[in-house]
Amino acid sequence: MPVDPKIIEALESIVGPEYVTTDEVILASYVSKGIMGLEAQRADIVVRPKYVEEVRRILMLANEHKIPVTPVAGGLSGGYACPTVKPGGILLDLSRMNRILEVDTDARYVVVEPGVRCGQIWRFFRDNYPEWAPPIPDGAPPAATVLGDALERGFSLVTSKYGPQADLVLGLEVVLPTGDILRTGSWALPGAKPFYRWGLGPDFTGLFLGSQGTLGVVTKMAIKIVPHPEHKDIVALAFEDPETMQKVTLRILKKEVGVMVQGGNWWLVPTRMDHESKLPHDYEFWKKRGVPKYFMNFEIWGITKEHLELEKKIIDEEVKAAKSKGEVVDYWKLHPRQVASRLKKPNKIAIPYAKWRGAFLFITWYLPWKGLAEFMKICEQKMEEYGFAPVIWVASIEHGRECIGMPIVCFNNRDPDDIQRVIEFNRETTEIFLDKGWINYRPDAKIHAPAMYSRAQGYYYWLKKIKQLFDPNGIMHPGRLCL
C-alpha cells in the first residue's frame, strides 16, 4: 500500500516530525545505481528512528497497513539499501542509532547499533582501545557501517586471516515485522552476554547475514574485535601471468601469512585516473613506471618486530623456492607513500574508479582459490569484448581457502548504451561462472538471483518459506534476492 497522510502523521508521532521527510530531493539523494547494483527505486518517505522501540512501532504500523520497508545503515552498498518495488514505501534510515554500546576486551567483542560508521569506530578504538581493531571493511569509505558490512558478509581489513565479516558476528538483536524482538547466539538467554555465536540450539544468526534486510531490522550486533599491533608492513609480489600468481600466492597463504592479501592486474592503476587524462592506457607506459602486469599485496601485522620479520621471511622463502623452479615472480618495490596509503584505515582507495567513466560496478564472486587465474582470464577477455577496461581485483578469504574476485566495471551511467553493455556483460559472465560452480555473493535482482535460484530451486523454496515465517505480510523489501 502507498504511504498516505494518515501514515505520515502516525510516523511523525513515533519519531518526531523533524525525522520524517517526503521531500523529493532528499528521497532522490538516497538512490544509488552503481557500486554494487543497478536497480534502485525511490522510497515514498524517509523515517529516521533513534531507539529500538521506535523501530518496533514503525514496523508494526507498516505491517498493519502492508507498507514496504527498506532498512539502510550507511547506504554505501550502492543501491542494496534502496527499494526494488513500487511503491517504494518507507526507507528506514538507521544512521541516528549510532552508539557503541559495549566493548569487552576479554571476550573480545564490540556491540554496535546500525548507524556506527567505520570512521567513527576506528577513531573510538584508536583513542580508547589502541591494542584492538574493530573489523571495518577493507576498502569501503569511512561512512560505511560495521553492521551494514557484516550483514552483507563483506571483506574486512583482516579478512585473509579471519574470513568474511559474517564469520566475526557473535549475535544479533532483530526487530521482526510483527514487532517481536529476537536475539541470537548466547544473547538469546536473558542476562547472558553475546560471547558465543552458536547459542541456544540451532542458530538463527546466519539467516540474517546476507538477507539484505528482507527478514527484519537488526538493531544491535555483537562482533569480534582483533589484536591490532603497531608492527605492520606491505609486501607486494609481481607476476607476469595469473597462473603463477595463483600458485605462488596459495603456497604462501597455506602458511597462514597476512591479514589482508589482495591484488589484481595492472589495469587497477590507470583506471583510478580520468579516462581523458593525458596518461597513455597501454601497458608499456605503466611497466616503465614499475607497475607489474599482475600483483599481490600481503598486508602483514606482527605482534612484535620479530614476528613481522618472520612473516616476511616465510614469504621470501616461498619466493626463492618459486624462482628456483623457474617461476617468474619478483618483489614490487613500493614507495613509502604507497605503503602508507595501503596501511591507512579506513581508506578511500576504491573511490577513484568512478573517475574513469563516471561510475563503477563491483561484480563480486566467491570461488575456490584454484579458480583465480581462470576467473581473471575470463573477466579480462569478456570485459574487452564488451568494450570495458579489463580491471580485475582479487583477494584471499581465510588464507586462500576461498578467493573473492571482482571485475570493476567502469562505465558511464549517463549513457544507456553503456548501461546495456554492463547488463549484457554481467548476464553472460554470470552463466559462465555459475556453470563453474562459482557464487555471486551480493546477487542482483535482474541477473544473479534469477540465474542462481533457477538452478537451486529447492534452496529458494525454503528461503521463501523462512521469509513467510518472519515476515508474513511481506513488508520487508525483497532485496536483490527477489524474496
Ligand X SMILES: Cc1cc2nc3c(=O)[nH]c(=O)nc-3n(C[C@H](O)[C@H](O)[C@H](O)COP(=O)(O)OP(=O)(O)OC[C@H]3O[C@@H](n4cnc5c(N)ncnc54)[C@H](O)[C@@H]3O)c2cc1C
Nearer Cβ to ligand X, position 34 or 247?
34
Q: Which is nearer to ligand X, 70 or 249 (CB)?
A: 70
Closest separation in Å from C-beta 422 to ligand X: 16
Residues that bind ligand X (CB under 6 A): 35, 70-78, 80-81, 94, 114, 137-141, 144-145, 147-149, 151-152, 154-155, 212-213, 217-218, 350-351, 479
369 neighbors 398 (Cβ within 8 angstroms) = no
Closest separation in Å from C-beta 64 to ligand X: 20
* Dist. CA 371–CA 359, nearest whole Å: 28
- In the complex, the smallest distance separating the C-beta of residue 342 from ligand X, rounded to whole angstroms, is 12
Return the axis-axis angle of helices 372-385 and 416-435, rounded to nearest 10°.
150
Nearer Cβ to ligand X (310/469)? 469
Task: Give the separation between CA 81 and CA 53, rounded to whole angstroms.
Answer: 22
CB 251 → ligand X: shortest distance, Å? 25
Residue whose CB is less far from ligand X, 140 or 379: 140
Pick 81 or 367: Cβ nearer ligand X: 81
Q: Please name which of 396, 404, 405, 407 lies closest in space to residue 298, comparing C-alpha atoms.
A: 396
Q: How many Å apart are CA 80 and CA 27, to the nearest integer?
A: 15
Distance CA 114, CA 452 (A): 29
CB of 318: closest distance to ligand X in angstroms?
A: 26
Nearest distance, CB of residue 164 and ligand X, angstroms = 8
Nearest distance in Å: CB 102, ligand X: 18
Nearer to ligand X by Cβ, of 172 and 236: the residue is 172
Question: Cell numbers of 271, please?
Answer: 583506471
Rounded least distance, CB 351 to ligand X, Å: 5
Strand 392-397, strand 439-440: pairing: unpaired
* Separation in Å, CA 212 to CA 42, 71, 295: 17, 9, 33
How far apart are CB 274 and ligand X at their closest, in Å? Answer: 17
CB of 271 to ligand X, least distance (A): 13
Beta carbon nearer to ligand X, 20 or 35: 35
Cα(70)–Cα(58) distance, integer angstroms? 12
Asked if 1 contacts 444 with a C-beta cutoff of 8 angstroms, the reply is no
Residues in CB range of 416: below 8 A, 6 or more apart: none
Residue 5 CB, shortest distance to ligand X, in Å, is 26
Taking the least distance from each CB to ligand X, the nearer of 217 and 253 is 217
Nearer to ligand X, 138 or 318 (CB): 138
Which is nearer to ligand X, 70 or 430 (by Cβ)? 70
Rounded CA gap, 24 and 28, in Å?
6
Q: Residue 392: what are its φ and ψ, rounded to 5°?
A: -125, 130
Provide the pairing of β-strand 69-72 with 90-93: parallel
Between residues 120 and 249, which has the closer beta carbon with respect to ligand X?
120
In the complex, the smallest distance separating the C-beta of residue 156 from ligand X, rounded to whole angstroms, is 7
Q: What's the grid cell of residue 400?
A: 586462500
Choose between 238 and 359: whose C-beta lies nearer to ligand X.
359
